[in-house]
Structure formats: C-alpha cells, structure tokens
Amino acid sequence: MAIPELQRRLREFVAERDWRQYQNPKNLVMALTGEVGELTEIFQWLTSDQSASVMSDSQRAEHVRDEIADVLAYLLRLCDVLGIDPEAALAEKITKNAAKYPVPTATSP
C-alpha cells in the first residue's frame, strides 16, 4: 500500500471516530513526539551492536515495527492536514542536501 492510499485510510479512520477535531498540526506534532519516545524506549539501553540485531527477536521485532508504524502514521496525518506531499518534500530535501554536503572527491595523485 503506497503513501497516498495509507493517508486516505488514516483520514477515514480518524473521521469515523470523530477524532478530526483533535488533529490540528500542533497536537499531531506532540503525538509524533510521543511515538518517537516509545520507539526510543526500545533502544535506550541497547548498545549500538545490540540495536543492529534488534529484529532477530520476533517479539521485539514486532514491537519495533509497531512503533515505527505509529511514527509514520502521525507524520502522514500531519502532512495531510498541512497539505504537504511527504514524498515530494523528501525528494526536494535530498536535492538540497546533496548541494549542502558535496561528495568528497578523490584527490589526484
């Protein structure tokens, strides 16, 4: 399922529960913070190496997937209420960043 379709489903989900009234941009940014906090709690006491193999435990893998999904959900809701196309915004940002951080070139011998 692609991003526009996920956004449509999230929009319906919210409308059906009459939650649209709560989902102004300010509140959605806070909800995003809350979910990033939950994602952080999974990783906070792990070493970097442990974090790299976090998906090898199936229960923890599902937890990570769920929290990442929650972060993405609020990010997509935020984009929806602000009228931002997240994929276009990121494509443009990558172009900006490529100019800002040029690839180091090999020095000639």
Sign of CA dihedral 16, 18, 23, 28: negative
Q: What is the Cα–Cα distance from 79 to 71, expressed in whole angstroms?
A: 12
CA dist 44 → 29, 40, 65 (Å): 22, 6, 16
Count of residues that interact with a second copy, criterion CB under 8 A: 71
Instruction: Find the binding residues for a second copy in span 38-97 (CB under 8 A).
Output: 38-41, 43-49, 51-52, 54-55, 64-66, 68-73, 75-76, 78-79, 81-84, 86-94, 96-97
**Residue placing its CB nearer to a second copy in the complex, 105 or 108:** 105
Instruction: Find the binding residues for a second copy in span 7-26 (CB under 8 A).
Output: 9-10, 13, 16-18, 22, 24-26
**Residue placing its CB nearer to a second copy in the complex, 88 or 108:** 88
Q: What is the Cα–Cα distance from 26 to 32, expressed in whole angstroms?
A: 10
CB of 24 to a second copy, least distance (A): 5
CB of 109 to a second copy, least distance (A): 20
Q: What is the Cα–Cα distance from 34 to 19, expressed in whole angstroms?
A: 17
